[in-house]
Structure 1
Amino acid sequence: MNNAFDWLDTHFAQPLSKISEQRHLKAIRDGVVSAIPLIIVGSFFLIIAMPPIPANWGYHVWATAHVQQILIPYRMTFWIMSLYICFGIGYNLSKSYKLDPLAGGELSVAAFLLSIMPIIKKSGDIYLPMASLGSVGIFPCMLLAIFSVEVLRFCKTHNLVFKMPEQVPSSVAHSFEAIIPCSFIVLVMTLINVVFKINLEQVIQTIFSPLVKAGDTLGGVLLPVFLVVFFWFFGIHGDSIVGSVARPIWLSYFSENAEKMSHGLQPTHIAPETFFQWFVWIGGSGATIGLIIAAVIIGRAKYTKSITRACLVPCIFNINEPIIFGFPVMLNPVFLIPFILAPIVMTIVTWFTFKLGWVHMMFVQPPWTLPAPIGAFLATGGDWRAIILCLVNIVIATVIYFPFVRMYDKQELAKEKGDQENEK
């Protein structure tokens, strides 16, 4: 068994872990994460504008009458998330190259804005469609941020920059160093958008559309769940590895659901990231809330009791590193099956529940440290059935973990008895 684990770790887990730390993927991950505070705060204004209370209540009547004003913070944060993500990617990628991160972020935003087809009115007024700054712009902003920083790096490496005397403040010197790469980026984007009238947004969306469509299927949700727990079993942060690739897709689902709700339409995407956060990763990756509950019920060994007490509170708030490294779950053959099986069963149950329309689709992103039933309730805009589904999944996880926790606890009891006999 150990030889098999060692082979998988050496030939599969470690190489993929290194890929997740690749410079560009890491910058994308950090750029998306940097926008999460704006996404969380902005999404809550959807609940304020469309409260989950009866339509004849006074506040609901008032909110309906003032919905456009209430949604202004949402539109200036969540609705233009690609703009913030673009800056974050450019900033972090430049920082990894030891370039001026502010210049990298600004050039990325400039390239992204220049890629958007403007709307020109007969009056001569020019508008940028805000929809292009939301979920539609996620993939274009990622690629254009990478392009902009690579241009900046190329110019810096080959000394294609204006050098300023040493007496000039560094902030001013960095600004002048960005003139040539800025000129190149603006020229290229102007040729593409204005001269050749190529809509990069549509081109990139067409390229990525197969991935976007696949992510909402049953197979599309099962694959990331399996990969996350597989990596975590070897002590590798599975969420970071899988999220580097999948998070832009999950975010586009989430944004489209929120946009439809803001227009009074029903969301259609089953699997934004909140699907996994509130209905699968309950207690943390591997649905370890089930392990803790089972250990509370049947734990008899001193070690089982002590580690359970230490892990219980963090687990309630979806922090399970103490469980993975403390029990441990990592590289523990006893927990391999439930650690993979429980999330997979919960994913299947949750996917069919949403597919059949038994629970409202998610369009709000609460902070991930909330207890799961509360987070599930808020994520669905106040659907009480989400709490029921979350509790059902907790029961499923507990039942699956139960016999394996019993097995582990018996092993610990046997060790403790053996130690006591040796002491005597």
Structure 2
Amino acid sequence: MDTFSNHLINFGQKVTKIKILKVIRSAFQQFMPFTIIGAIATLWTAVICNNQNGLGALWEPIMKLDFLNPAFTAVNFCTIGCISIGIALFMGIELGKENGVRTTFAGLLAVLSVFIVSPIQNIVTNDEGEVLATIKGIFENNLSSKGMFTAMIVTIVVVTIFSKLCQVEQLKIKMPEQVPPGISKSFEDLIPAGLSVVIISFVGLAVNLLTGGLYLNDLISKFIQQPLMGIGGSLPGFLVFAFLILLFWSVGIHGESMVSGILNPLMTALLLENLTMVQAGGEATNIINWVFFRIFLCTGGTGFGLALTLAIFLVGKRADNRAIAKVAIVPNLFNIVEVNIFGVPIVLNPILIIPFILAPIVCILFGYFMTFIGLCPVYYIQLPWTMPPFLFGFFASGGNFMGGLIQIIAVIISTLIYMPFVMAYEKQQNKEDELRLESEN
């Protein structure tokens, strides 16, 4: 056990030092408040003030407030609808910081580069193929979750090129000492920035010419984003991610941080795709997404920490364990698990590691099956991850009671799984206490 945990800890330390994964993780963490704001705006237009399938269909007076819907629609567009731009900005800033260049400049450079490789006009035709109009502008299809992987890749490429070019002294325009430092630095970055955007612009043009009219986002979406979403959104693929997260936590490494650089873009894209479907009047179809991950892996904290706390209250007899449970219960209600992980502890505890991994795996299978047969709604609204159980499932499913009930049932299932292991752990603790007393006497 010690040898295995040491290898896992060493591996975890190496992964956390990977620059790109750290940049992606940080960017998504910083943009999350805007995603939640956009989701709340959608909650208003799709669930509350909606007379088709929302509260407005049951209580008509609420529709007197439908004049507010355009404002909430605008909020949604400028947050979730433009998530690719936000991710590019934050990734550019973080990568610039890692590479030692001006952070805000690198972030803006990333955003401009995303615009550069995006189509700037759409041609509208009739059924016979005749051109009716040419509409200029950058469209939501390239700024929303569908363009997210393009934004990530373009940002990494452009900021990396810019950072490398900034190290070439011959490319820096030197200004006299009398020139203010801000202006002087801008001239130093002029040629590296110019070359960077020209290079990415040529790449976008080459793709367009060689593919007969396709854009970079089309290729990345088809050959990278969709296949990865297919893997991460599949039950086997998600179970692998879940197992890795739980395995890292079992040796004291923050599991979500280890895989979030890969998992967050996939889960977020799947969730936002659901949201887009609902906004268009359809139904969400991606069972596995960011909310599914939070509910069936992390309710009460990763590994269903709330279930462990409840199991201790129900079958635990030792005063020390019950004291820890009393401290853990409030954080667990807000999905914080560190008290359980390091207090009980779960870390390097051979007995409790088993239900810590088993309970979420069982609940993932349970949640997937319940959703597949239609008893649990497909989740599509992102909420703060600290939202208490039931409320999380209820609001994330657009106010569907079953969305919250299934989450509570998952907590009950997990509690039942933890109970025999808590009893076995306390027996081991009692034996250790007896041996210690004998040795002292």
1:230 maps to amino acid: L
Is 2:247 aligned against 1:245? Answer: no
1:249-286 per-position Cα deviation (integer Å, ceiling 9, x unaligned): 11111111111111111111111111011232111111
> Aligned partners of 2:436 and 2:282: how far apart in 1?
64
The aligned residue for residue 159 of structure 2 is: 149
Asked if the contact 1:221/1:347 (under 8 Å) is kept, the reply is no
Give 1:21's aligned amino acid: K
**Hey, what's the Cα distance between the residues in 2 that align with 1:28 and 1:76?**
21
Residue 101 of structure 1 and its aligned partner are, at CA, apart by 0.6
* Deviations 1:275-332, CA, capped at 9 Å, x for gaps: 0112321111111111100111122212112211121111111111121111110011
2:99 match = 97
Classify 1:62/1:261 alpha carbon distance in 2 versus 1 (closer, same or farther; 3 Å): farther
Q: How many residues are aligned here? A: 420
Tell me, in whole angstroms, the C-alpha distance in 2 between the residues paired with 1:124 and 1:384: 46
Give the structure 2 partner of residue 71 of structure 1.
Answer: 73
Q: Which residue of structure 2 lines up, in the alignment, with residue 368 of structure 1?
A: 385
CA distance, structure 2, for counterparts of residue 116 and residue 423 of structure 1: 74
Label 1:108 to 1:385 Cα distance change in 2 as closer, same or farther (>3 A): same
Q: How does 1:198-217 map to 2 (within 5 A)?
A: 199-208=215-224, 209-217=226-234
Distance 2:288 2:245 in 1: 15
Q: 2:404 aligns with which of 382, 387, 395?
A: 387
Considering Cα pairs closer than 8 Å and 6+ residues apart, tell me whether 1 or 2 has the greater RCO: 1
Listed one character per residue, the Cα deviations across residues 102-151 of structure 1 (whole Å, up to 9, x for unaligned) are 11101111111111112156877621111210111111111111112111
Amino acid at match of 2:219: V
CA separation in 2, counterparts of 1:31 and 1:138? 12
Deviation larger for 97-106 or 198-207: 198-207
- Distance in 2 between the 1:316 and 1:90 partners? 35
Aligned ranges 1:172-251 → 2 under 5 Å:
172-194=183-205, 197=208, 199-208=215-224, 209-251=226-268
Structure 1 residues 68 and 323 mapped into 2: Cα distance closer, same or farther (>3 Å)?
same
> 1:354 & 1:167 partners in 2: Cα distance?
67
Q: Is the 8 A contact 1:279 1:389 kept in 2?
A: no
For 1:264, which of 281, 289, 294 is the aligned residue? Answer: 281
Q: State, as a whole percentage, how many aligned pairs show the same letter.
A: 29
In structure 1, runs of 5+ residues without a counterpart are none
The alignment partner of 2:82 has SS state of helix
1:274 aligns with 2:291: yes
Stretch deviating more after TM superposition (130-139 or 67-76) = 67-76
Contact 2:162 / 2:196 at 8 angstroms: preserved in 1? no
Structure 2 partner of 1:36: 32
Contact 2:56 2:63 in 1 (8 A): no
Q: Is the 8 A contact 1:119 1:127 kept in 2?
A: yes
Hey, what's the Cα distance between the residues in 2 that align with 1:125 and 1:382? Answer: 38
| 1:15 counterpart residue number | 11
Aligned-residue offset at 1:66: 5.8
Q: Does 1:300 align with 2:317?
A: yes
Q: What code does the residue aligned with 2:292 have?
A: F
5+ unaligned residues in a row in structure 2: which ranges? 49-53, 124-131, 209-213
Is 2:149 aligned against 1:139?
A: yes
8 Å CA contact 1:299–1:409 kept in 2: the answer is yes
**Distance (Å, rounded) in 1 between the aligned partners of 2:59 and 2:143:** 35
1:69: Cα distance to partner? 4.1
The one of 39, 45, 70 equivalent to 1:49 is 45
Distance 2:379 2:181 in 1: 46
Q: Render the CA deviation track for 1:35-89: whole Å, top value 9, x for unaligned.
A: 1010001111111112242504135534667644431111111111110010100
Equivalent residue in structure 1 for 2:395, among 367, 373, 378: 378
Amino acid at match of 2:311: A
Instruction: Give SS of 1:163's match.
Output: coil
Contact (CA 8 Å) 1:307, 1:326: kept in 2 or not?
A: yes
- TM-score relative to the length of structure 2: 0.89
2:338 equivalent to 1:314? no
Which shows bigger deviation, 279-288 or 405-414? 405-414
TM-score (norm 1): 0.93
Q: Which amino acid aligns with 2:190?
A: I
Aligned AA for 2:32?
Answer: I
| From 157, 168, 175, the counterpart of 1:164 | 175
